[in-house]
Chains A and B, each alone.
Chain A
């Protein structure tokens, strides 16, 4: 009788241990697989590749308009002239590093900080900027616009 009780107790203790073991094991497995799953999911951040960047479709950008983009850790500006050609530049003003923008009315690139102006070749034509904007080369493949260093 006592043996039975003992063996019963032993059984339940063994079971308990097995449950804990099982629970612990699966817990451990979950704690390992969960980060793994998150790791495998591609992150939302942009590609590490900053040599080539797709910035959009030819049809999305109207004539005489512009689009700002982030190229590596620098701002970039893509301009589509009134005639339809595309130009891209590093949007850092060569005067004091403000970010330039496109002025439709003048068909020029303009810096709001000190009224510097650049023509569509990036050349500094008016105001304090001492040098032209750095150009970024553009490739258009199948209507997609890519910029590269």
Chain B
């Protein structure tokens, strides 16, 4: 008879997973007001899995050349059974995934979970964030409609302003001087091969690190008396909660796909002028809006160069937070970093909203 025990024994003899399993059984999750934030990593993972599954399904019908991609997406949305569902889920899940990773990142930041010994998790996480943005940027072009064509044009134009290497990188990205069918081919390759490959490796590292190190406890955890240190085991309690949440999220995705189907718009016309008020997707808006506010020239530097430089420096600072944060390394409360974090969140929110309104 097939019992779990028999399967386990069979695997154990071959893979020696006994240690692993007993180790995993011990994994616990701290239970406190902030426990909800622990879910967001899992949500991001779920959404990634959804993206991979729906992405693979879309790949069966999508055609990645400038003459055919728009029509193929139209074909999927209209003629393939449930194609509309797969496509809308893919688009919604993409946006929700960006949101989830950002919430996840900020929750890790504010709970200072990047402290030793978890710096590597933070670094790998940051890389994952950049990869997710790259996914979003490359995937957005693939329907080859008006909006995506011009958004890509504007987005890749910004790369050009980086001094020295800017032009070179822009050419690499665009596959030429302008956004053309060659750009589409490259982005398609990046989106379905390059990035998933790299992403899988990095996320494997990220997950292994997390499993190895266990869930981070909040700053003041050690100070609490034992009785208040409530924990629940990861398997099966937290996992079941996770699964429940995942189930609900899948349902939400379906609801979104039905009630707010993703638009296709009109096919990209390379010769047409850009429509007024073109802007990138919401997760790039705050950067885009910031660049708009910087005056064209400040002293001797081009406004755009300054903007790109600013964001690069900010990104670097953010990346190296485990190094900056000396206070929490020694167990003390690090108020400054919290304030910086709050400032960043508010900045992003405000500029995103401004970007929408303008």
A39: contacting residue among B71, B74, B83, B247, CB under 8 A: B83
A43-B75 Cα distance, complex, nearest whole Å: 10
A residues contacting the other copy or chain, number (CB 8 A): 13
B contacts with A, residue count (CB < 8 A) = 18
Residues of A within 8 A of B71 (CB): 48, 50
Question: What 6 A-B pairs are tightest by C-beta distance, nearest first?
Answer: A38-B81, A48-B75, A35-B82, A45-B79, A48-B71, A39-B82
User: Is A41 part of the contact surface with B, judged by Cβ < 8 Å?
Assistant: yes
B60 within 8 A of A: yes
B residues in contact with A45, CB < 8 Å: 75, 79
CA distance A34 to B302 in the complex (A): 56
Q: Which of B177-193 contact A (CB under 8 A)?
A: none
Residue B333 at the chain A interface, CB threshold 8 Å: no
Number of A-B contacts (CB under 8 A): 34
A51–B71 alpha-carbon span in the complex (Å)? 12
Offer 5 A-B interface pairs, CB within 8 angstroms, sorted by A: A38-B82, A39-B81, A39-B83, A45-B79, A48-B71
Q: Are B74 and A41 in contact (CB under 8 A)?
A: no
Q: How far is the CA of A120 from the CA of B72 in the complex (A)?
A: 35
Q: Which residues of A contact B (CB under 8 A)?
A: 28, 35-36, 38-41, 43, 45, 48-51
Q: Mark B48-89, 1 if CB is under 8 A from A, else 0.
A: 000000000100110100011001101100011111011000
Chain A contacts for B75, CB-based, 8 A: 45, 48
Query: Are B67 and A39 interface neighbours, CB within 8 A?
Result: no
Residues in A with CB closer than 8 Å to B57 are: 36, 39-40
Q: Note all chain A residues with C-beta closer than 8 A to B247.
A: 28
Residue of B nearest to A48 (CB): B75
Which residue of chain B lies nearest to A149 when distances are taken between CB atoms in the complex? B67
Q: Which residue of B lies closest to A28 (CB)?
A: B247
